[in-house]
Chains A and B, each alone.
Chain A
Amino acid sequence: MKKQAQNITIVFILNLFAFIFTFPMFFTVLNSFMSNEEIEDRYSVTAAINYDPPNIADNHFMNIGLIPDEVTIKQYYIVLIEKTQYLVMFWNSIKIVLPVICGQIIVSCMAAYSFSILKFRGKDSLFFIYIVVMLMPFQVTLVPNYIIAAKLHLVGSYLSIIFPGIFNTFGVFLLRQYISYIPNTYTEAAKIDGAGCWNIFANIIVPMSKTGIAALAILTFIDNWNMVEQPLIFIKDVLKEPLSIYLSALNEKEKGVAFAASVFYMLPMLLSFLYWEDHLVEGIELSGIKA
């Protein structure tokens, strides 16, 4: 009896946390179907509550709501058809993120393979440097990134964001874990059959670390799709900004469209997340097995 009560409590707590973790997502999606007037009505503050004597009425508070009074897809119409700038910004985001993902996968895969088979003095020290670079907050790595971008005249162009993204050392760290779990017997058998490094890499290592590559792809995607710091510093032209920057400004200017734009923006992440959920979970798991 006591055991059962305990189990029910545990299930309750887990559900509560699951609710807390997912609530903002449902909130955003549901609010995107509200009309502009309703959103203004709910989330715009008309009077300050700090007057003395306090002149407080219920309607001075923002009124958080989930169910639209009237379901409308007007906001989506504005975002997708009426105003073109959202699509432009969306396209900007893709133009930055796609090369970063592709480049990061290729570069990291090769480096991770080399780190797991190569034996040379200083390998551990080099890997240590990779980890230190991985741990640096953006504001530290942005300084060298900026210096080199200024030297190469890349400031203002997407390349100044794409290159540091490609050479982010997190991918090497993540994939090394995977490759070190591939049993040696596979590669040794291939070697005895006369396969070269490239053959082993292309026909054994890459296919066998597919899960890791998928996890890296989606983690890189999530991280770069949400970028805030780099475009703030490197991109001076408003029209070239990715949607992530624009969205944050939207919250102040046009609240009505902000939700629909967020959902529109969230969609690629959500879809790849659902499509690759097993890979993602497994990828996160494996990255932690052997630190």
Chain B
Amino acid sequence: MKIIKTFRKLQREDTFAGFLFLLPSLCGVLLFFIIPFIGGLYYAVVDSPINGHFVGLKNFINLLHNDAFLKASANTSLFTMLCVPLNICISLILALMLNNRFIKNSNRFRMLFIAPLVIPVASVAFFWQLIFDNNGTLNYFLYRLGATTVDWMKTDWSRTIIIIIYLWKNVGYNVVLYLSALSNIPIEYYESADIDGAPGYQKFFNITFIYLTPSSFFVFIISIINSFKVFRETYLIAGQYPHENIYFLQHYMNNIFISLDYQKLTSAAYMMAAAITILVFILFNYQKKISTHFTQ
């Protein structure tokens, strides 16, 4: 009995101490993210910070009628919907290749694959510009082949190019994530499948695929975060007002930041935050469903 009592006491102390440990982070997150974000609601519902007349949802409605905002939202969603699945597919294929037993130096490959993380964004931007510029290398080859040259960044191709840059930069990171997940699958499963004479594709769908689902969830989240970060490269390559296909929400926000229009800024931020919260919420519930499905 005494032991249990001391244990309870310890646990209560634990809770208090645990809270102290959380305090610095919690204060910082509240002060720099949550509180000003909630405080921003004021700017989102008044006509101007100086007048301060309450206008309700007018700022939001204006935003929904703003062509630039709508275009930017559509572009950003389309870009994310295209590049995240591509990223997952390519990195999964590369990880499966690297996971073969006959590849001895898979560590070296992993290192080389995450090299794009180390290169400064500005150099990366310059390199890709060199390839896709109107006078760039790609056009040089086309010209030598006698084909017509294209000013790539100023055509519909610009989206494809940004997707290529995104994939170039982020596939390696996901390969590393998938490799670790693959190495955690017990080899006995494959052996027993071999004894049963299961074909390769069945092994993939019934063993590999299922075991990778939890990791894929994380890969998915990281890929989305990184799809927002591709703005850096886009901005450095194409500037403030790029081709309309790659005019992202980040460009929109950046441009209103320059004019410091608090109404537009806060209402747009609220919209984006709401969209992301819903996305995360759906993902979490989905993941919970899947993981309970597996434990059963």
Contact = CB atoms under 8 A, between A and B. Distances in A.
Contacts of A133: 29, 33-34
A140 B235 contact: no
Contact of A288 (B39, B129, B131, B180): B180
A239 interface: no
Nearest to B284: A128
B176 A281 contact: yes
A114 B119 contact: no
Contacts of B13: 196-197
A148 B113 CA distance: 39
A262 B254 contact: no
Interface size class of B (residues with CB under 8 A): 35 or more
A24 B137 contact: no
B254 A139 contact: yes
Interface in B118-135: 118-131, 133-135
A266 B119 CA distance: 6
B25 A244 contact: no
B28 A140 contact: no
Contacts of B97: 10, 13-14
B114 A281 contact: yes
Contacts of B75: none
A216 B13 CA distance: 29
B242 interface: no
Contacts of A128: 280, 284
Interface string A1-27: 000000100110110011011101101
A25 to B, nearest CB: 5
B114 A265 contact: no
Interface in A156-175: 163-164, 166-167, 169, 172
Contacts of A287: 177, 218
Contacts of A138: 228-229, 231, 250
Interface stretch (B14-22, B57-65, B81-89): B14-22
A94 interface: no
Contacts of B10: 191
A64 B184 CA distance: 43
Contacts of B180: 284-286, 288-289
Contact of A284 (B102, B125, B143, B177): B177
Interface stretch (B155-163, B190-198, B202-210, B271-279): B271-279
Which one of B15, B103, B110, B122 has the highest number of Cβ atoms from chain A below 10 Å of its Cβ?
A: B122
Contact of B112 (A21, A151, A169, A262): A21
A233 B259 CA distance: 11
Given A13-B97, A144-B37, A228 B14 contact: no
Contacts of A108: 25
Interface residues of A, number: 103
Contacts of B43: 147
Nearest to A286: B180
Contacts of B79: none
B253 interface: yes
A16 B10 CA distance: 57
A280 interface: yes
A286 B215 CA distance: 10
A92 interface: no
B172 A21 contact: yes
A118 B231 CA distance: 38
Nearest to A9: B97
Which one of A108, A114, A119, A136 has the highest number of Cβ atoms from chain B below 10 Å of its Cβ?
A: A114
A229 B250 CA distance: 10
Contacts of B34: 129, 133, 144
A88 B79 CA distance: 38
Interface stretch (A67-75, A77-85, A246-254): A246-254
A149 to B, nearest CB: 9
B25 A134 contact: no
A131 interface: yes
A87 interface: no
Given A140-B269, A285-B180, A21 B219 contact: no
26 contacts: A10-B103, A14-B97, A21-B113, A21-B171, A61-B140, A106-B24, A110-B22, A114-B19, A131-B221, A137-B229, A139-B257, A140-B253, A145-B33, A147-B40, A147-B43, A148-B36, A167-B28, A197-B17, A197-B18, A248-B121, A262-B123, A269-B118, A280-B114, A288-B215, A288-B218, A288-B219
